[in-house]
Amino acid sequence: MRTRHRRRSSCRREARSVVRGVGVLRRPSAPGQDAASDGRILLASEGRAITPAAIELAASLAREHGCGVHVFSVVRVWGSSFGFPNPGLLPNKREWDAQRAVVGDAVDALGKRGIEATAQVLATRKATKRIVGEVSRLACSAIVMAADPPRNRLLQDMMWSQEPYRVKRRAKVPVHIVTD
């Protein structure tokens, strides 16, 4: 009788782990749904405004490769409280609206240059991981990001404004950083 009980509980544990894994992995829509995914350019932002110089570089790279641009921006999730998600640490409506405006302005500027552009705004704690993940998901051929001047490597890992340099270290495609 104990053997049956153990078998059942182990089956339940396996079933729970499978269900947990499915719940954690939330895949965005397939890349082929909104535009062709052949060598896109990713114009990314970790929350800062996308500069005209970065838009111009992304447009010139898109013309060279004959592809579109995907504009991607991250809204920062500020952390967790005692290991649990806390609604007070999630982005508020004003932060979401600000990032939607940044992305919308970039899409409009690319449209004026004759470049086909799509956009996405996402909330995350780990901007580097999500940006690099979008590159592989959309099969992008390059990343363009606006950035502050580089800092000391020790300080760089602790500052949110140095996110483009972390993306450059982790990405497997060329990363073009535009500093103003």
Model confidence band, residue 51 (pLDDT cutoffs 50, 70, 90): very high
Domain count, the chain: 1
Residue range of the domain that includes 69: 37-179
What is residue 22's three-state secondary structure?
helix
- Which stretch of 48-57, 85-94, 127-136, 154-163 has the lowest confidence by average pLDDT? 154-163
CATH of the domain at 126: 3.40.50.620
**Does the residue 55 lie in any domain?**
yes
Model confidence band, residue 81 (pLDDT cutoffs 50, 70, 90): low
CB–CB of 120/40 below 8 Å? no
Q: Is the Cα torsion angle 139, 144, 147, 151 positive or negative in sign?
A: positive
**Does the residue 25 lie in any domain?**
no
**Does the residue 75 lie in any domain?**
yes
Please state the pTM of the whole predicted model.
0.71
What is residue 156's three-state secondary structure?
helix
**Does the residue 9 lie in any domain?**
no
